[in-house]
Chains A and B, each alone.
Chain A
């Protein structure tokens, strides 16, 4: 994120937010702690646990990570929920209520900021889009920012390249940084392994289909949090 835009974002936040500057400083410090400690751990945890959602409250902040709605952990009668399949890459795949979607984005964005060691200012830049995840925040809502460029993260899905049996690879572990085209696993189609590839640069949030599960073509397998902001720097 270019420096001038970060500054502009902070300015706007200040204009709209009547709270004193001291509160902002406290917020930023809180965000820093989340970024550097909690969020990466949470992402990794969600990736390994067989649960749909994690929520942690700390210092007046609340962080919630949620798997996409309709992403089955077990193999149903119909192999994949059709509604879920319809949008295998894109915002809808994060599913669920808007708040949950926002919180997943928050997690990834926060992690991105932390891993780059940029601290508070960079979070301020991504912060406005993440209001839904926080009980209180510097900017509050994404509506204020409005620009496409601020939606730095979406939740692309690595989908099945074939109909067959899924086997996740070593990179399909929550918290792992991957690049577009990295192999996240294979789908075995009649003994021919077909590579499951990361659709974008980002961080693996979790594998949503168990190893050894039968999957259909296009089925969502691995949730990635793409962080365009990382690459933009």
Chain B
């Protein structure tokens, strides 16, 4: 097992990894940018090291700064969290070259799954139904138009790197494609440092369901059930739950089983998430794999009782998984509400400022993962996630009721949050009946959605 881990991330996930290290008896060093000097992970850490200025390109995205920090603090492993360098195979390789372990898939595995477009074909070869899309990356506008014509409109433009909906656009005509592609390229470039794009067939009224897997170095793999991430705004997940209300128990079991078989056969290692779109007929289509710990991992932790971050660390250290599929017995229902510093009344524009009051809700089945504290100044440089409120109940109805009470109890003052959209969702019939699709909010627009919820 590792002796000391460098946490190369920020916000709630830096705190989550710090907590995992503490429970495992592993020392941890929090690497932070100048803008995060007063962050909770830094304040709670036994050891912290400033790696650069607020600009992420010179701190959280700087491989030399992170690796140098790991070396001078005597770490033997680096946890990249999510986002930033978490799926960067070059970073993982350089980490390895300095006798440090990258906590995630080994570089060779990351490399194999680096291209989303390539992974689709790879896992398609191992029996997963994959969504139709472009062959290879889009070379230029002409190539894009040709491929879109072949796949058939509407199509989704997607960046090869990263996640979180950045650089993604759905287009219905060649003209829309041409104008959107420039925007997507620049968004992808600034968010991930890579502007390669590809196309995917867009399914109308689709649902987003993902399967959590874990595979150790010895090829022993399990799935930990699935999560439904259909509640999105412009391709960004805002609420996730498990199990998915979109599929029957038999269909869920089959999907999870096929997913874990395919990744084990393709040589995947460590925790990972296979994302699927489910069409209105209930057919799943594989779209991509995320080779990292995900924001919504607490949903699975609440259902299974497994510490996902600890599992990830153990696998990276070369340990066997230590449990079998039959040991994983998901119980009940869990919903995660992403609490973002965004103003739902104003097109979800990001807000920043000092947290004047903060109260985290509690009670049975409630978990709050957040880096907030009263007096903390939310810096404007990074993503808007303030925390994740997770509600568990023996069934979906109870989880919803507990979630509603917890959202009412939550106090975040000093900046505007998106809590209203969650409250509106919990009053929305489509959501309550479990029939939501990824366009639930975008179809009417978030302002109209909120206004409708406010009507008696």
Q: Which residues of A come within 8 Å of B, CB atoms?
A: 77-80, 82, 85-86, 162-165, 189-190, 192, 214-219
Contacts and interface: CB of A to CB of B under 8 A. Distances in A.
A83 to B, nearest CB: 10
A163 B37 contact: no
Nearest to A192: B64
**SS of B interface (majority):** mixed
Nearest to A214: B72
Contacts of A82: 37
**SS of A interface (majority):** loop
A216 B52 CA distance: 8
A79 B68 CA distance: 13
B51 A217 contact: yes
Given A79-B49, A164-B72, A190 B67 contact: yes
B7 to A, nearest CB: 14
Given A217-B52, A218-B34, A163 B69 contact: yes
Interface in B20-54: 34, 37, 46-53
B444 to A, nearest CB: 46
B47 A77 contact: yes
A165 B49 CA distance: 13
Contacts of B67: 190
A162 B72 CA distance: 12
Interface in B72-92: 72-73
**Contact size range, B:** 20 to 34
Contact of A85 (B50, B65, B98): B50
Nearest to A218: B50
| Max count, chain A CB within 10 A of own CB: residue among B47, B49, B68, B71 | B68
| Max count, chain B CB within 10 A of own CB: residue among A79, A163, A214 | A163
A167 to B, nearest CB: 13
Contacts of B68: 162-164, 189-190
A107 B75 CA distance: 43
Contacts of B34: 217-218
B47 A163 contact: no
Considering the complex of A and B, which 3 residue pairs feature the smallest CB-CB distances, nearest first? A214-B72, A216-B50, A189-B68
Given A214-B72, A217-B34, A163 B48 contact: no
B311 to A, nearest CB: 29
A71 B46 CA distance: 20
Nearest to B74: A214
A85 B72 contact: no
A79 B30 CA distance: 12
Contacts of B69: 163, 216
B412 to A, nearest CB: 25
A215 B68 CA distance: 10
B47 A78 contact: yes
A15 B361 CA distance: 66
Given A85-B50, A216-B51, 15 more contacts: A79-B73, A162-B64, A162-B68, A163-B49, A163-B50, A163-B65, A165-B72, A189-B68, A190-B67, A190-B71, A190-B98, A192-B64, A217-B50, A218-B50, A218-B53
